[in-house]
Amino acid sequence: MYKFYLLLALILAGCTTASGIQIVEKGNSGFDTAIIYKGKETILDVNENNEQEYRIFHQGASGFTPSTAVRHSAEKRAQAFCKQKNKSMKAIRERASTPPHILGNWPRIEIIFICTETKQDIDNLINHRRLLTTAVYKKALRNDEYEQLLAHSLVSSINDTDYIESIFSNLPLVIISDVERMFLKDLINDERVNWLLSQELREQLAGELISINTTFPSKSWCSMPTMTDDTPLTMDVIIKCLQSIQQNVRITIEGKELSPCRLEYSVSSNGYSLIAYDHQEKTFIACSLRDIKTIMVLDTPRLAELETIYASYRSESKNTLTFVLHDSNNAVDRCFNYFSNYTIQAQDVIAEEFIIEVSYLPFQEQDILRNLLKLGCAVRIVDECPLREKLEMIYKTALIHAPSN
């Protein structure tokens, strides 16, 4: 008889009941139905990044089931669940039954956990995915294969469906190559662009890149001015314009009180323009910052609802210019370079001829004319429009003043 009871106890000790793994906010606790034995809750860790929390509940079949066995069984299932996501299980809190385990108060445990990345997970990923090495990338694979493998290494399938999720709920530090570090050092040493970064960030990056060489030795090359060179004389004016937009205040330039709206960069001229609302003219203007030496930032707030007003202005005041472009002297490339700041559409008609449609605003008219003049005889305006008349007047004036011979 003693052997029978011992065998029965061993059988009962090895049996547990378990719930499915549930999202916490979509399920109920296994302790909710308990009237007396509600267990004791323990905080184990912190969900710092507010990641998805899951719940798992295990209960022994009788009081003879060891609490450690119930806990081990629950933890093992939670770990397997997270492993399918290429992550590690991190217990956030738990509720466990307290002795004595009698009268229906069997050993129970509920674990609230998240699936997250540990340093070991990231190290394993880097070690097994050589595509993420910090060394300069050498084309051992064709580029499309590289991108495909990289994509597969950063996502996983959700429950064997077509849906995928990132294996990183919060992306780790970006791993950049030596070439990218060299390029970054070029940028922070270039006064034409480094003003976009704060002084603090520039100093921090310079310190991190102190041992990295630049792409080319210092003074090994210089930029030559283009036909139209609007490179700013000083970046201080541009910085103040940007700050006034960020701080939502007005500025004065050459006696005009303006509510700054946009900073635009021109690829063709390497220049900057400020699009702003002119409070005297009661309309929007474009102000070239090439020769502006002084600017005053005011404490007065910008025009109320400026973005809404500018959006309405763009919609109501938009003009369209259509012209035929003959591709001589590399005219097509030059055209798209000149009009890089504009909405432009192109349609080929016959060999070496294209129909170009450019959308512009009233304050951009002079810039449109300059670009058309730079394209010269490659342009033929087909529509009757004010711009065509102005262009014809410019050409006629030029012919009048041209030498007779």
Q: What percent of the chain has pLDDT over 90?
A: 23
**51 vs 13: CA distance, rounded Å:** 35
Task: Extract the runs of DSSP E, i.e. beta strands, from 295-342.
Answer: 296-301, 319-326
The enclosing domain of 288 has a CATH number of: 2.30.30
Mean pLDDT, the chain, as a whole number? Answer: 79
Work out the average pLDDT over 234-240. 83
CA distances from 325 to 291, 336, 354, 368 (A): 32, 11, 5, 15
In a domain, 390, yes or no: yes
- The DSSP secondary structure of 49-84, one letter per residue, reads T-PPEEEEEEEESSTTS-HHHHHHHHHHHHHHHHHT
Q: Is 91 helix (H, G, I), strand (E, B) or coil?
A: strand
Work out the average pLDDT over 313-329. 90
Q: Is 99 helix (H, G, I), strand (E, B) or coil?
A: coil
Sheet holding 249-253, edge to edge: 283-288, 271-278, 256-266, 249-253, 296-301
In a domain, 345, yes or no: yes
Q: Are residues 306 and 352 in the same domain?
A: no
Q: How does pLDDT run across 63-113, given as a tens digit for each residue?
A: 777 888 888 889 999 999 988 887 888 899 998 887 877 766 778 889 999
Number of domains in the chain: 5
Domain boundary among 116, 134, 158: 116
Work out the average pLDDT over 172-180. 71
In a domain, 225, yes or no: no
Q: Looking at residue 303, what DSSP letter applies?
A: P
Output the six-digit token pair for 177. 């190559």
Q: What is the pLDDT of residue 317?
A: 93
CA 332 to chain centre: 32
Give the residue numbers spanning the domain of 72: 2-116
Q: Are residues 86 and 15 in the same domain?
A: yes
In a domain, 322, yes or no: yes
**235 vs 239: CA distance, rounded Å:** 6
Q: Are residues 99 and 13 in the same domain?
A: yes
Residue that has been written with the tokens 């509720």 in this structure: 95
Q: Are residues 306 and 266 in the same domain?
A: yes
Q: What is the pLDDT of residue 194?
A: 79
| Amino acid making up residue 221 | W
Q: How does pLDDT run across 22-48, given as a tens digit for each residue?
A: 898 887 887 776 656 677 888 888 887
Cβ atoms of 81 and 89 within 8 Å: the answer is: yes
In a domain, 92, yes or no: yes
Q: Is 361 helix (H, G, I), strand (E, B) or coil?
A: coil
Q: Which residues contact 330 (CB under 8 A, 6 or more apart)?
A: none
Q: Is 16 helix (H, G, I), strand (E, B) or coil?
A: strand
Sheet holding 319-326, edge to edge: 343-350, 353-360, 319-326, 379-381
Q: Are residues 338 and 253 in the same domain?
A: no
pLDDT band at 230 (very low <50, low <70, confident <90, very high): confident
Given phi > 0 = left and psi -120 to 50 = alpha, else beta, which region is 170? beta
Q: Are residues 56 and 69 in the same domain?
A: yes
Q: Are residues 308 and 324 in the same domain?
A: no
Output the six-digit token pair for 282. 């009661």
What is the sign of the dihedral through the CA atoms of 194, 198, 199 and 204? negative
Domain boundary among 261, 292, 315: 315
In a domain, 173, yes or no: no
Q: In this structure, how many other beta carbons lie within 10 angstroms of the beta carbon of residue 139?
A: 7
Q: Are residues 328 and 374 in the same domain?
A: yes
15 pLDDT exceeds 60?
no
Task: Give the relative orientation of helices 386-400 and 365-375 as an angle to the nearest 10 degrees.
Answer: 50
138 pLDDT exceeds 90?
no
CA distances from 59 to 13, 41, 102, 205, 262 (A): 11, 16, 13, 55, 64
pLDDT band at 225 (very low <50, low <70, confident <90, very high): low
Q: Are residues 107 and 142 in the same domain?
A: no
Q: Which residues are registered as beta bridge partners of 347?
A: 355
Output the six-digit token pair for 335. 């055209």
Write down the pTM of the prediction. Answer: 0.52
Work out the average pLDDT over 111-123. 73
Work out the average pLDDT over 176-181. 81
Cβ atoms of 358 and 320 within 8 Å: the answer is: yes
Q: What percent of the chain has pLDDT over 70?
A: 75
233 pLDDT exceeds 80?
no
Q: What is the pLDDT of residue 389?
A: 87
Q: Are residues 129 and 83 in the same domain?
A: no
Closest to 227 in 3D by CA, of 402, 390, 370, 366: 370
In a domain, 77, yes or no: yes
**100 vs 67: CA distance, rounded Å:** 11
Q: Are residues 287 and 328 in the same domain?
A: no
Q: Are residues 92 and 195 in the same domain?
A: no
For residues 316-328, one letter each, b for 16 or more C-beta atoms within 10 angstroms of the residue's C-beta and e for the rest, the string is eeeeebebebbbe
Closest to 292 in 3D by CA, of 225, 234, 214, 350: 234
Cis check for the bond before 225: say yes or no (omega within 30 of 0).
no
In a domain, 214, yes or no: no
